[in-house]
């Protein structure tokens, strides 16, 4: 159906807004405290349990299945091949890809798949790639592979017409190397992801808390030019709209 990227600082309603999605929801959670903001009845699952979610026959739009992909292993060696943290990241990424494939191809009971946030996913993907770097550490090619892996995951999730794919991302501020202008991009491990990830989504909005309300900014700002719609005429959308996915998706044409 649609792929949507929601950017924003902490506390601006990014994860909270997932509650408003129409239909059933699975959240791949990479933030230890992220699910606290989801105003649904939460069901928790371990990485690799997507088959159990696909078989739920009592799953409604009042529920949210949360799969926790969290890595708490400590660094125990300077050898990347033996580093427990990176090996755990590799295992988490393998399970995330496995779960996602199940959800998008077999889970007919699921309408919405969310990844929260990009920052956590990118850290896990980086660790997974670096797990094979050995004692010499990661090369420039490893950084490219890691960026390609995250983009590939996003593209796969967006490739199925029966599911909406939503990703949240924190913002980072940096200076453009050519123009020296201050710009904002999604916060992720690796510049290549930050600069290219937004092009993969149909809709990119900025979550803000304004005048006592959680809203999305729909037009580019001075520092964040990548806000846009591919599926809705931007001139027909107000500068700020309530954070409500049901309303947003109802006016978006089906792809």
| Residue written as token pair 């959240």 | 27
Q: Quote the mean pLDDT of the chain.
A: 83
The structure tokens listed for 178 are 């050519």
Residues 6+ apart with CB under 8 A from 72: none
Compute the CA torsion angle 236, 181, 5, 232 (nearest 10 deg): 20
**Domain 3-250 listed as CATH 3.40.50:** yes
**3-state class (DSSP) for residue 254:** coil
Residue 37 has pLDDT above 70, yes or no: yes
Query: Looking at 3-12, 74-83, 159-168, 212-221, which range is the least confident one?
Result: 74-83
**Are the C-beta atoms of 164 and 1 separated by less than 8 Å?**
yes
CA 213 to chain centre: 23
Helix (H) or strand (E) holding 213: strand 213-217
**Per the structure block, which two tokens stand in for 149?**
């892996």
- The string of pLDDT tens digits covering residues 105-136 is 999 999 999 999 998 888 888 888 777 666 56
Cβ-proximal residues to 20 (8 Å cutoff; 6+ apart), any chain:
243, 244, 245, 246, 247
- Is the confidence at residue 77, as pLDDT, over 60? no
| Cβ contacts of 180 within 8 Å, gap of 6 or more | none
């Amino acid at each position: 159906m649609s792929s949507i990227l929601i950017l924003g600082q902490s506390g601006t309603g990014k994860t909270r807004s997932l509650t408003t999605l129409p239909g059933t929801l699975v959240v791949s959670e990479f933030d230890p405290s992220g699910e606290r903001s989801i105003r649904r009845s939460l069901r928790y699952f371990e990485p690799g349990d997507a088959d159990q979610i696909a078989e739920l026959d009592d799953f409604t739009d009042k529920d949210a299945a949360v799969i926790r992909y969290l890595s708490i292993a400590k660094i125990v060696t300077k050898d990347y091949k033996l580093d427990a943290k990176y090996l755990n990241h590799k295992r988490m990424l393998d399970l995330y890809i496995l779960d996602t494939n199940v959800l998008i191809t077999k889970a007919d009971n699921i309408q919405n798949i969310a990844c929260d946030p990009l920052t956590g996913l990118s850290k896990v993907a980086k660790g997974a790639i670096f797990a094979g770097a050995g004692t010499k550490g990661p090369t420039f090619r490893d950084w490219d592979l890691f960026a390609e892996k995250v983009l590939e995951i996003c593209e796969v999730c967006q490739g199925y017409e029966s599911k909406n794919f939503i990703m949240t991302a924190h913002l980072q501020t940096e200076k453009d190397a050519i123009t020296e202008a201050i710009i904002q991009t999604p916060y992720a491990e690796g510049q290549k992801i930050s600069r290219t990830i937004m092009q993969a989504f149909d809709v990119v909005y900025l979550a803000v808390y304004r005048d006592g309300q959680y809203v999305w900014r729909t037009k580019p700002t001075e520092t964040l030019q990548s806000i846009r719609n591919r599926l809705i005429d931007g001139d027909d959308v107000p500068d700020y709209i309530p954070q409500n996915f049901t309303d947003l998706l109802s006016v978006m044409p089906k792809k």
